[in-house]
Amino acid sequence: MSALASTQPRLGWNRLRLNVTTKQALFGYAILLPTLAIIVIFRFLPMLQAFYISLNEYDLIRPPKFIGLENFIDLLRDPLFLNSARVSVTYVVFSCVPVWILSLGLAVLFNRQIVAKNLFRSAAFMPVVMPAVVNAVVWTFMYHQDGVVNTILGWFDLDPIPWLRSSKWALWAIIIIGIWRATPYYMVIFLAGLQAIPHEYYEAAQIDGASAWRQFRHITLPLLKPTTLLVMVMSVIVAMKVFAVPLIMTGGGPADSTRVLPLFIYQTAFEFFKMGRAAAMSVFLFAAVMVFTLFQIQLFSHGEE
Amino acid sequence: MLSRFFRHRHAFITYPLLFLIGFIGLLPYYWMVSCSFKTNDNMFLVPLQWMPNPINWNAYGDAWRAQDFTRYFLNSSLVAIAITFGNLLLASLAGYSLSKFRYFGRGILFLLILSTMMLPLEVTMVPLFLIVKKLNWPNTYEGLIVPFLVEGFGVFLMRQYLQSIPNELIEAARIDGASELRIYAQIVMPLCKPALAALGVFTFREAWDMYIWPLIIVTKDSLRTLPLGISLFMSSFGTAWDQLMAVAAIGTLPMILLFFFLQRSFIQGIAITGLKE
């Protein structure tokens, strides 16, 4: 009797629970669905399709023709592509390394007690606020032969530089802009990392009489390692994507000296309508992004004891 | 105040350094705005003119009349606002689903979304263009907006944030008989305000900045966004530097306003891109 009484409601309860969990699961699926649809259609499929298109010759007019790896073989023999890859690598290396050092330096600086800290920090942060296209337009103006950059060089008795008109200097002009714009961005990320380090560590070090440099070297740097890894990966990937600034400022010139890979992909696809070839280039770019990410993660996890 | 200033051991290095950093950070802004008020004859004087004299008030009006910048501005605003709201809604729904509901395949679906997070648009732009072309979306607002309505990063962020919200809160509301949608809208979302604000400002900034995609799919003047309009103006402006700087200043204004009024969220929006673990 008592057994019956206790099983009866429990059966009902179980059935109800099952319904509730199914209902909840369905709701879970339903609210994920729009996101899933957009990500799959506009991100995931294109990623797979990029590989497939790279095996074809396709000019948007005639139907795609399968040609195997020909695009890749052609690219590796194409001096323009090899030049573009070299330009991209130069840009990435020489814009990222200074950004890491400067952004960490700024973060350490702004993590101290400073009068009017917010004001200075906002001023330092302003490059992030400027839209990329505006950035390109304003710097083109500043790099003018008689412009403000050369005027400032003149204060130090330096000769004016023909920034954007010389194949020797144009890439450096663009690298400087990259550094200017990226540094405060990563400064913010480093600052967040610094603020997460407990104060007690520094207090203990001070009691032991550790110098500021030793504190930085033995407390700050090791504890900032995850942040540093992230900044390195992010900044490299962002630098690999640079596009608007070279397109607007130089169009890739003079003499192809600023034709970074994304710009070359864009021009191959949408000015010369060689879709297969452009896709093959983007496969290279994709591989570079992946390799770099994995390589840096490897590097850092290896150093961990 | 002064004693605090001098107590700092390195004050004599620190403050000049800070002024230098501020100068470098602000110089392009100052140059853009001041030159938009210079006359064109005074742009490249030797020595350089640091204050516009005489002041030229016409650049903004002239530039605005030279091209349909009102339209570009409205297009940019529409696209950026739509993308921002789309991201807030879809990323919060997806993040809620992935953090608080149990169902078959949840882990795999999350990985699938994550795998697109580091993927640059430059890698996928050719196939993405072909897809959008097949949908007949070049030169439409759909083409500008729909592919960007949600990003893997936003989903990831909202999922991480929502995991810190106690399940008991949601369970209690269920026991009280609240519907699932109501729990999402009236209990979960209000708790996510800081994350939503940061994600919103971040997304708006990225959307306002968008250049490569509109360049690919927009050829009609009536659909140009502000970045397209500015770069078009630059390729055809001749030597009207004052007007070019005026247009650039207008294009920056919304970002400046966003920064000054939502400074916390603006900076938070960047700091959160550093939370990938």
Domain holding A183, by residue range, is: 76-303
Same domain assignment for residues A216 and A92: yes
The confidence score (pLDDT) of residue A7 equals 46
> Strand pairing of A56-57 and A65-66?
antiparallel
Min CA distance, A177 vs chain B (Å)? 11
Interface test with B, best of A43, A51, A61, A240 (most B CBs within 10 A): A43
A60 lies in some domain: no
Same domain assignment for residues A21 and A104: no
Q: Could you tell me the pTM of the whole model?
A: 0.89
The confidence score (pLDDT) of residue A92 equals 95
Min CA distance, B212 vs chain A (Å)? 7
Q: Which residues are registered as beta bridge partners of A56?
A: A66
The confidence score (pLDDT) of residue B276 equals 54
A66 lies in some domain: no
CB contact residues (below 8 A), chain A span 105-144, against chain B = 106, 109, 112-115, 120, 122-142, 144
B67-236 CATH fold: MetI-like fold (1.10.3720)
B146 contact residues in A (CB cutoff 8 A) = 38, 42
Contact A43 B152 (CB under 8 A): yes
What is the residue extent of each domain of chain B? 2-60, 67-236
The confidence score (pLDDT) of residue A72 equals 94
Same domain assignment for residues A44 and A106: no
Same domain assignment for residues A129 and A167: yes
Min CA distance, A1 vs chain B (Å)? 30
The confidence score (pLDDT) of residue B208 equals 95
The confidence score (pLDDT) of residue A249 equals 93
Same domain assignment for residues A15 and A106: no
Kindly tell me if the per-residue pLDDT of B211 is higher than 80.
yes
Contact B126 A282 (CB under 8 A): yes
| Domain of residue A168, CATH code | 1.10.3720.10
Kindly tell me if the per-residue pLDDT of B10 is higher than 80.
no
Same domain assignment for residues A87 and A128: yes
CB A210 within 8 A of CB A269: no
A116 lies in some domain: yes
If DSSP states are collapsed to H, E and C, what string results for chain B? CHHHHHHCCCHHHHHHHHHHHHHHHHHHHHHHHHHHCCCHHHCCCCCCCCCCCCCCCCHHHHHHHHCCHHHHHHHHHHHHHHHHHHHHHHHHHHHHHHHHCCCCCHHHHHHHHHHCCCCCHHHHHHHHHHHHHHCCCCCCHHHHHHHHCCCHHHHHHHHHHHHCCCHHHHHHHHHCCCCHHHHHHHHHHHHCHHHHHHHHHHHHHHHHHCCHHHHHHCCCHHHCCHHHHHHHHHHHCCCCHHHHHHHHHHHHHHHHHHHHHCHHHHHHHHHHHHCCC
A59 lies in some domain: no
Distant-in-sequence, close-in-space partners of B240: CB < 8 Å, separation ≥ 6: B40, B59, B62, B63
Rounded distance, CA B185 to CA B177, Å?
15
Q: Which residue has the higher pLDDT, A258 or B54?
A: A258
A223 lies in some domain: yes
A129 lies in some domain: yes
Segments in chain A below pLDDT 50: 1-9, 304-305
Rounded distance, CA A254 to CA A247, Å?
12
Q: Which residues are registered as beta bridge partners of A66?
A: A56
If DSSP states are collapsed to H, E and C, what string results for A250-292? CCCCCCCCCCCHHHHHHHHHHCCCCHHHHHHHHHHHHHHHHHH
CA distances from A302 to A101, A217, A289 (A): 22, 19, 20
The confidence score (pLDDT) of residue B7 equals 53
The confidence score (pLDDT) of residue B54 equals 86
ipTM for this prediction: 0.90
Contact A270 B216 (CB under 8 A): yes
CB A271 within 8 A of CB A195: no
The confidence score (pLDDT) of residue A5 equals 45
The confidence score (pLDDT) of residue B48 equals 83
B126 contact residues in A (CB cutoff 8 A) = 50, 53, 265, 269, 275, 278-279, 282
A65 lies in some domain: no
The confidence score (pLDDT) of residue B60 equals 92
Mean pLDDT, chain B, rounded, equals 90
Same domain assignment for residues A270 and A134: yes
The confidence score (pLDDT) of residue B45 equals 84
The confidence score (pLDDT) of residue B274 equals 73
Contact B21 A106 (CB under 8 A): yes
A70 lies in some domain: no
Residue B44 pLDDT grade (very low, low, confident, very high; cuts 50, 70, 90): confident
Contact B94 A45 (CB under 8 A): no
The confidence score (pLDDT) of residue B202 equals 92
Which of A186, A172, A176, A168 has the alpha carbon at shortest distance from A125?
Answer: A186
Contact B27 A148 (CB under 8 A): yes
What are the pLDDT digits (tens) for B108-125?
Answer: 999 899 888 878 888 899
The number of folded domains in chain A is 2
